[in-house]
Chains A and B, each alone.
Chain A
Amino acid sequence: QSALTQPASVSGSPGQSVTISCTGTSTNIGNYDLVSWFQQHPGKAPNLMIYEVVKRPSGVSDRFSASKSGNTASLTISGLQPEDEADYYCCSYAHGDFLVFGGGTKLTVL
């Protein structure tokens, strides 16, 4: 059982927006602005999409945005494209100097 809770799956049509939630506790998401999001295509290594809750690394599309409220972080993908179909993982710093992941969310572009 993962420390962070994500929906197992979400879906949307091309051009639409989807939001993936990630719920933790006060020992991780709730007290630290150190949430990351990773995209993973089948058979590939994860790719960093968001760090420090809202920051995008260079090269990541601005269609990807994120936020946090209380113990829940969220990733929003706008203008869905077929290539966005992948698994998405949230990750947070946890009290005690380690990282915890969510169980992952499979995004299907219909």
Chain B
Amino acid sequence: QLQLQESGPGLVTPAETLSLSCIVSGGSITTANYWWGWIRQPPGKGLEWIGIVFYSGTTHSNPSLKSRITMSVDTSKNQFFLKLNSVTAADTAIYYCARQVGLGAWTMDVWGKGTTVTVSS
């Protein structure tokens, strides 16, 4: 059974870069027709889609965040990554990684449990 697990720093200083990783187990990150994505949820608020990355490195991202994010994949470790630079308190959220079914369906069918990131000095 496919499982995803996020990991990250927990606390990030304002203006610095947030770096998260997601390890995929129970399946290969290079499986055709699946992309790997990030979604976040500020405390007490709704979900926000951040972006997705294909194992080849191709990405699609939220226009509101595009200038600040970098997504990548390490196929040898079955992991994918998110970097968000110039963070502010508004970036405080639970960050989820998820498998996104191919671009035809545009939906997330397997989610990690989420990791909490707080931006504070």
Q: Which residues of A contact B (CB under 8 A)?
A: 2, 34, 36, 38, 44-48, 51-52, 57, 89, 91, 93, 96-104
Given A98-B62, A101-B46, A101-B48, CB of A36 within 8 Å of CB of B107: yes
Candidate in A44, A97, A104 with the most chain B CB atoms within 10 angstroms: A97
Q: Are B109 and A96 in contact (CB under 8 A)?
A: no
Q: Are A98 and B47 in contact (CB under 8 A)?
A: no
**Chain B interface mostly:** strand
Q: Which residues of B contact A (CB under 8 A)?
A: 39, 46-49, 51, 60-63, 96, 101, 103, 105-109, 111-114
Given A45-B112, A46-B111, A98-B61, CB of A93 within 8 Å of CB of B47: no
Instruction: Enumerate 9 A-B pairs (CB-CB under 8 Å) in ascending A order.
Output: A34-B106, A36-B106, A36-B108, A45-B112, A46-B96, A93-B106, A98-B61, A99-B49, A101-B48
